[in-house]
Structure 1
Amino acid sequence: MSNVIVNRVAEFLKRFPPFSFLGKEDLTRVAQSVEIQFLEKGEMLFRQGEAARPHFFILKEGLIQLVENSPKGEQIREVCDEGDVFGVLALLGKRPYVLTSKVIENSLIYAIPVAVFEKILEENSRVALFFAAGFAAGQVVVRQDLSQGQKARGEFKKDSGDHSLLIFSDQSAVIFSEKVVCCSPDTAIQSAAKEMAQAQVSSIVICDENKFPVGILTDKDLRTRVLAAGISPENPVSQVMTSPVITRNKQDGFSNLYLTMIRHRLHHLVLTEDGSDQSAVCGIISDHDVFLSMGNSPAVLIHALMNTLEVVEMRKIRDRAEQMLGYYLENEVSMEFVASVMTEINDVIIRQALEIVKDQLKAVYPEMMGIRFCFLSMGSEGRAEQLLRTDLDNAILYEDVAQNLKSRAVEYFQKLGEGVVEVLLACGFDPCPGKIMASNPEWVQPLTVWKSYFTEWILHPSPEALMKVSIFFDFRSVAGSKALAEELSAHIYQEIGKKQVFLNFLALNAMKNPPPLGFFRDFVLERSGENRDQFDIKLRAMLPLTDLARLLVLSHQIVGINNTFRRFEKLAELEPANAELFSQAGKAYEILMRMRALEGMQSKSNGRFIKPRSLGKLQRQLLKNAFVPISELQEIVNIRFQLDYFRR
């Protein structure tokens, strides 16, 4: 392979994990070993049940489906997109393929020899963790984002940062048993089985006089090597145990332990003091322990959500997601990443809720199944910033229907909205105090009505209209027809273009909240009510930043960026002179999000109200520093939108 081709292959691989984790030397070695294969539409790369080849694959161009052949017929399990790694079971287990790969479009793939990559797996923990997490999540395609769906890229692919390690790095400790049942090699099989039964374990470790492991016997061994083979239970365990026993050190870390189990196809892995079979047994890890250790990985949670339509189970999974959130907050993981993870989880819950309710309604409203609609999230969830299960802001937008279907459409989508909100409330989300939810008929409307809403708010920006604008302008399509949402967005910008003065009124609204600090640079606290002497971090600090970011992005006619810190990021590109200020504002907003989420986790609330006295000196200063960009941004807006003139 010429150097030019090797370089091109390396450049492509470097864009995708786990290859993005490799150093230049390792990446070049992999690129030199790659076999480039062209597959025509209709071909099969491998078939279900075939012995694994000595390669795994990454899709360079084209489209490949992974399908499962079952008594019910052929079912599509995955659709491979550019950069997806598949056929990976060959990498670790050398077991038969569990799916068939069908070439849907002419495709170009890179076949990577397992032999070349095995050494890298042993030496590079990040690569090992990437694959281990994928297997623990039950993935047949290993990709760089969290979604298990077809061609799921979205916001994750837009990120230049490397998040793949963080996705699966929530293993603060591997779960394993320290109470290991052991016996000597001359123990009778029946006696060993009784010890296993009494201890309610699925394995027993056979040790010598020094308590060093010489073998292991599992419940599977009892079935296949003793009962099925007709061996006398009076015989010693040494005759049927697996020996020599594979051992590891409990300090090795999750990825190394789990990869060892996959590579050797073990259901149990013995842990010793120094990792060898020449030291005492100190623990054992089972494949069940592995599952529990991976239980709060985003990939596992999303996979579980996508495979259940039981509301009770969905609630339990969302509760586990909150535990994961706590881990991320405590370990200072990037807030942009954390928000992306929690948004993906919330979005999957909404989509599953829609499936549940649509299935309930389809028999009664069969004619509605072909009507396009879009479920919109708004407010913090619309901005992809809802970390805690705070109040819901959502709506339904559906296409205009023929006159004879209008009443049926109103009934159907109203019931759909009510059903989805009911599921979300059952999953622990709070209802919107202002009833801006898809259960409210006012916010379940066809496209023409939604257009008229926004036209009215823009042409007649009353205080009430501006309040609604602050919620509804941040809508995001979560499920259904995105084309409808895009058409509504285009209408909004068209209307703003007709009445530019609307932005001045929006600017006035963005300035209505006073600075978070008083004259003596102390927090402005609530003066009365149940939250007296507490600081409203949402109203005083976060809302001004979201309002200012929205206003400035709208003034630049930027479509499709709802997230507050991404808005500031974009503004920094558009206005280099103010780039540093916008960058500070984005970082400030991340700090505020983190502090609110931490407060919510600690107080089991929505985190909106914080007691400044409960904060440490460093936390108080960090919070005050986050306020600095607010006043500077307000000064810019005051001048740019001539607000002194509008206040007269």
Structure 2
Amino acid sequence: MNVIVNRVAEFLKRFPPFSFLDKEELFLVAGQVEIHYLEKDQVFFRQGEPARPNFYVLKEGTIHLVESTVTGEEIREVCDEGDVFGVLALLGKRPYLLTAQIIENSLIYAIPVSIFEKILEKNSRVALFFAAGFAAGQVVVRQDLSQGQKARNELRSPSNDHSLLIFTDESSLRISENVLTCAPELTISEAALRMTEAQVSSIVVCNLEHHPLGIVTDKDLRTRVLAKKLDPASPIHLIMTSPVITRKRKENFSNLYLTMIRNQLHHLVLTEDGTDRSEVRGLISDHDIFLSMGNSPAILIHALINAKELSEMRSIRDQAESMLKYYLENEVAMDFVASVMTEINDVIIKKAVKWSQEKLKTDFPDFPEIKFTFLSLGSEGREEQLLRTDLDNAILYEDVPKELQETAKAYFIQLGESVIESLLACGFEPCPAKIMGSNPDWVQPLSGWKEYFTQWIVTPTPEALLKSSIFFDFREVTGSPSLAEELSAHIFEEIRKHKAFLSFLGQNALNSPPPLGFFKDFVVEKSGEHKDQFDIKAKAMMPLTDLARLLILSHEIVGVNNTFHRFQKLAELEPNYADLFTQAGTAYEILMRMRALEGLQQGNNGRFLNPKTLGKLQRQLLKNTFSPIAELQQIVEVRFQLDYFRR
């Protein structure tokens, strides 16, 4: 039994909010977990059913949370490993809002809420984590609304401040100080008139001491007066919700919002001492919370998921740029910033793919269900695309019988064209080299992609090595993950058979000249549009990217694409060089921040900096990022015998 508890605890501690628990709390939770095996096509719970005394964590498999509407069923959420679901219904003591459909055989952990409620009261970080998700209208609470590796490092660290998951500054929370109140004898019609004149959605009923007796909202007027044909001349106390739930005006946000969730409140009355026996001091509504969180990644992602038009998505992505600027200027951890921007970009891509599939139903009415995956490449594949720079992506689909090959190719090319059209409309730039899902060359079945990679590895020409620097960083964004996994396995199998490829890749990583010249000044462009400017991408970022990719490939590590995550992993694998790899990862984060800030300030991709406009501190900081490059190049030269290789 202890072995099972240990395994459960090991799994849970990888994901927030369980990563916020101390060892005692974690094993308390793990000891109460029930493990459920759910078979494909099973329904775990249905929309409208009463909430069970547990919430759930997906251990493995896939679960869709589906909403039944008058027009049919709509997938609201796709649960991934580590996602927490079934919480909103439970804490709010309300029926399930969605139906849980088992898409693949799944294992879930059922956690009794009775255990967790005690932790919520003691552990503010856990409460804050749930509050962030609920405030964004989430039905699945996940690590910063992301999947896979995103934001886990940020959320693991006990020293990091996660108020940014909710809003920029807790003091920005909108609380109504001048609360509309009335006596219990006031007529319903007069109360409604006062609410209309004050342009508010509630009125608090008070006694002579200004202590709250109850509250009446717009909804109460509809359901308790109009629907029941109650005489509007009746006193307001007949329809008020009483006793009223209250909290102290200076209570922290997470406690206030969790109180609203648990009690299904749209309005919470705040009093002097937190009881209904003291004066009313304020009112907070769920609308106030929503408005306070306008610059939150949770709100932006929620808005993107529910966007109906491309223009709406473009506007939200523009907003994300403002949030990005705030994060960069306030030194928010780059790991977290990159994770947030990647998730925002991924949601846009997923929506574009879904809309494109819907459009193609007319032209391909009988098209069979063929597995495919939309791949992000380059900086977006590495989860490093902060600005809307040029797109690098591709489409991978399963091999089909000969009679379907022509139709499948035509379908996926049109799908790619439609997706790229949507992404361009959202403000992204087209790839100058046309490495996009709209180019037939990069819309291929699995066998075609395997052939490409084999050719690049077996015959590493300069062009092949250039393509390797883009395509080796592919990442599955939406579709069938198994295809991307099979392609990864093929790549490593080919590299094992042709180890000389790594030496060619190593030689390519050494081709970038040192960023500083003989007199220790920046090597700038000698001519052209960017004369006297420093190319931060080619001279500083790409060398680090290429070195990290080469070293991680040599260790056969799958699924770590991000450059600073690669350096973190290398520091674990090679403790003798841990300091150097850590320094390289930090350098890359600084370079990403500098480039993004330059791009936001200049309204471009931020690639070229004018060294003369940099302050002394900025110039020194930039120069400091160059030092790991030379050391790493020396290691690579020795390790891959490049001196011998060049003879």
The normalised TM-score by structure 2 is 0.84
Report Cα offsets for 1:466-516 as digits up to 9, x if no partner.
Answer: 333322222223333444444544554455455544444433332232222
Per the alignment, do residues 417 and 95 of structure 1 end up closer, same or farther by CA in structure 2, a change over 3 Å counting?
Answer: closer
Partner of 1:150: none
1:562 aligns with 2:561: yes
Contact 2:151 2:336 in 1 (8 A): no
Partner of 1:634: 633
Per the alignment, do residues 408 and 224 of structure 1 end up closer, same or farther by CA in structure 2, a change over 3 Å counting?
Answer: closer
1:172 aligns with 2:166: no
Partner of 1:263: 262
Per the alignment, do residues 170 and 409 of structure 1 end up closer, same or farther by CA in structure 2, a change over 3 Å counting?
Answer: same
Paired residue secondary structure (2:626):
helix
Partner of 2:219: 220
Report Cα offsets for 1:408-445 as digits up to 9, x if no partner.
Answer: 44433322221111111011111112222222233334
Q: Distance in 1 between matches of 2:437 and 2:579?
A: 39
Contact 1:309 1:352 in 2 (8 A): no
Q: Distance in 2 between matches of 1:486 and 1:5?
A: 29
- Consecutive unaligned residues of structure 1, counting only runs of 5 or more, are 148-152
Paired residue secondary structure (1:421):
helix
Report Cα offsets for 1:14-34 as digits up to 9, x if no partner.
Answer: 5553343234555566567x4
Contact 1:64 1:107 in 2 (8 A): no
**Quick one: percent identity of the two aligned structures?**
65
Q: CA deviation at 1:584?
A: 1.4
Correspondence for 1:162 among 149, 153, 156: 156
Matches within 5 A, 1:57-206: 85-89=84-88, 91-99=90-98, 110-114=110-114, 116-144=115-143, 146-147=145-146, 153-156=147-150, 162=156, 166=162, 168-173=165-170, 174-176=172-174, 178=176, 180=178, 182-185=180-183, 187-206=186-205
Contact 2:295 2:323 in 1 (8 A): yes
1:622 aligns with 2:624: no
Contact 1:376 1:394 in 2 (8 A): yes
Partner of 1:585: 584
Partner of 2:476: 477
Per the alignment, do residues 370 and 19 of structure 1 end up closer, same or farther by CA in structure 2, a change over 3 Å counting?
Answer: closer
Per the alignment, do residues 369 and 305 of structure 1 end up closer, same or farther by CA in structure 2, a change over 3 Å counting?
Answer: farther
Q: Distance in 2 between matches of 1:106 and 1:616?
A: 55
Q: CA deviation at 1:355?
A: 2.0
Matches within 5 A, 1:526-545: 526-545=525-544
Contact 1:170 1:324 in 2 (8 A): no
Partner of 1:436: 435
Matches within 5 A, 1:454-493: 454-493=453-492
Paired residue secondary structure (1:131):
helix
Q: CA deviation at 1:573?
A: 3.7
Q: CA deviation at 1:632?
A: 1.0
Q: Distance in 2 between matches of 1:266 and 1:357?
A: 39
Per the alignment, do residues 547 and 110 of structure 1 end up closer, same or farther by CA in structure 2, a change over 3 Å counting?
Answer: closer
1:576 aligns with 2:570: no
Contact 1:390 1:606 in 2 (8 A): yes
Q: Distance in 2 between matches of 1:497 and 1:199?
A: 73
Partner of 1:339: 338
Q: CA deviation at 1:590?
A: 1.6
Q: Distance in 2 between matches of 1:400 and 1:192?
A: 68
Report Cα offsets for 1:506-559 as digits up to 9, x if no partner.
Answer: 333322322222334333334444444433221221111011122233344444
Paired residue secondary structure (1:525):
coil
Q: Distance in 2 between matches of 1:18 and 1:574?
A: 28
Q: CA deviation at 1:172?
A: 1.7
Paired residue secondary structure (1:507):
helix
Report Cα offsets for 1:27-77 as digits up to 9, x if no partner.
Answer: 566567x47587887998766544445554556799887666677788876
Q: CA deviation at 1:269?
A: 2.3
The normalised TM-score by structure 1 is 0.83
Q: Distance in 1 between matches of 2:376 and 2:236?
A: 61
1:411 aligns with 2:410: yes
Paired residue secondary structure (1:471):
helix
Contact 1:245 1:270 in 2 (8 A): yes
Contact 1:362 1:369 in 2 (8 A): no
1:380 aligns with 2:379: yes
Contact 1:297 1:324 in 2 (8 A): yes
Contact 1:21 1:127 in 2 (8 A): yes
Q: CA deviation at 1:8?
A: 7.7
Per the alignment, do residues 101 and 632 of structure 1 end up closer, same or farther by CA in structure 2, a change over 3 Å counting?
Answer: closer
Per the alignment, do residues 123 and 540 of structure 1 end up closer, same or farther by CA in structure 2, a change over 3 Å counting?
Answer: same
Partner of 1:352: 351
Partner of 2:596: 597
Which amino acid in 2 is paired with 1:426? Answer: A
Paired residue secondary structure (2:363):
coil
Q: CA deviation at 1:391?
A: 0.7
Contact 1:318 1:427 in 2 (8 A): yes
Report Cα offsets for 1:111-145 as digits up to 9, x if no partner.
Answer: 5253x543432332212122222323334443446
Paired residue secondary structure (2:283):
strand
Contact 2:166 2:293 in 1 (8 A): no
Which amino acid in 1 is paired with 2:19? Answer: S
Q: Distance in 1 between matches of 2:474 and 2:252?
A: 42
Per the alignment, do residues 43 and 628 of structure 1 end up closer, same or farther by CA in structure 2, a change over 3 Å counting?
Answer: closer
Partner of 2:520: 521
Q: Distance in 2 between matches of 1:474 and 1:108?
A: 31
Report Cα offsets for 1:377-406 as digits up to 9, x if no partner.
Answer: 211011121122111011223445555544
Q: Distance in 1 between matches of 2:167 and 2:323?
A: 7
Q: Distance in 1 between matches of 2:219 and 2:344?
A: 37
Q: Distance in 1 between matches of 2:449 and 2:182?
A: 76
Matches within 5 A, 1:493-504: 493-497=492-496, 499-504=498-503
Q: Distance in 1 between matches of 2:618 and 2:375?
A: 36
Q: Distance in 2 between matches of 1:107 and 1:554?
A: 32
Q: CA deviation at 1:219?
A: 1.9
Paired residue secondary structure (1:347):
helix
Partner of 1:606: 605
Paired residue secondary structure (1:389):
coil
Contact 1:163 1:337 in 2 (8 A): no
Q: Distance in 1 between matches of 2:318 and 2:415?
A: 25
